[in-house]
A and B are shown apart, each in its own frame.
Chain A
């Protein structure tokens, strides 16, 4: 086959007046929409997840405030830990869904293909880094806070022992290690979630860089 045959096949393919699915699309009606049906479905699914997570998070936070500030409830560290974990989980779920929506809605269509890809990759990287830093600060501060409260509760570092009435030290260490590990887990989860996008983006950007 000759290289010029490609063009002849292309012309042949597009000069025939085939019956096509596009003719039935009403342009006037379409451009009044925010998104097409399939894309709207994707976005509304993400928005619904954000809403559900946010409502549960607000109810949870409200209940905690009511219990601790209004009812002045005193709970042991053993009870606070699972509650804190549940709250953090809800917060994590909500923010990750918001980020997903952010990525899904940002575009740079009018630029060159390369610029558009680089902008998208930059945004994706920025979200990933900010997300990691926020989680890193939040969980590490929580770990420091819990360790500080624990030491205070037992009356100082000198009273540290493997068995303790408030909370056994090994259990506390496991919990703190868990907190320190969460940001890295989030980073890993992000890498997994965006693996395919990154792989496609990096391949495309590498092709484009070779040609620049």
Chain B
């Protein structure tokens, strides 16, 4: 089972990276949280019963874990208790505004946790039905919400801020 799981994770590693980048953008503990998501995926793996695609299940667990980590941060803030090397905040270039990728991540960073989950699934070409199932909302409202989020993102991207 472990070998099968690792193979699936390697195959879908890109998804996990995207989720980490969205939820922990510029967070010094990003790598650590990535590991926590992997651990939680492994612990939840027995609950995966092939009723949905592995990627859909992976999105669901990884998004829930990311939101849960943010809750944990609020409940018990993680300060600089780790060593200085571990608490290494990456330096970003000053010409960040010219980078379209960073601008998009910055814009998404303005969204709520739920909106982030919806937009990541939309941008990764999931159908409204799959998005609705993963998030737990109605399919008819999914399209409306996606449109609102897109407008919000475009507004942020065009204005440079919310």
Contacts and interface: CB of A to CB of B under 8 A. Distances in A.
A1 B158 contact: yes
A113 B100 contact: no
Contact of A114 (B6, B14, B71, B137): B137
Interface residues of B, number: 75
A122 to B, nearest CB: 14
A25 B34 contact: yes
Interface string B14-51: 10111010000000011111111011101110011000
A26 to B, nearest CB: 9
Q: Which 10 A-B pairs have the closest CB atoms?
A: A114-B136, A112-B136, A13-B101, A211-B137, A36-B36, A31-B42, A36-B35, A211-B141, A38-B32, A10-B123
Contacts of A33: 35, 39
Contacts of A210: 141
A41 B39 contact: no
Given A104-B72, A115-B136, A207 B57 contact: no
Contacts of A20: 17
Interface of B: 2, 5-6, 9-10, 13-14, 16-18, 20, 29-36, 38-40, 42-44, 47-48, 57, 60-61, 63-65, 67-72, 74-76, 78, 81-82, 86, 100-101, 103-105, 112-115, 117, 123-124, 133-138, 141-142, 144-145, 147, 150-151, 153-154, 157-158
Interface of A: 1, 3, 5-7, 9-10, 12-14, 20-22, 24-25, 27-28, 30-31, 33-39, 41-42, 45-46, 100, 103-104, 107-117, 120, 193-194, 196-197, 200-201, 203-204, 207-208, 210-212
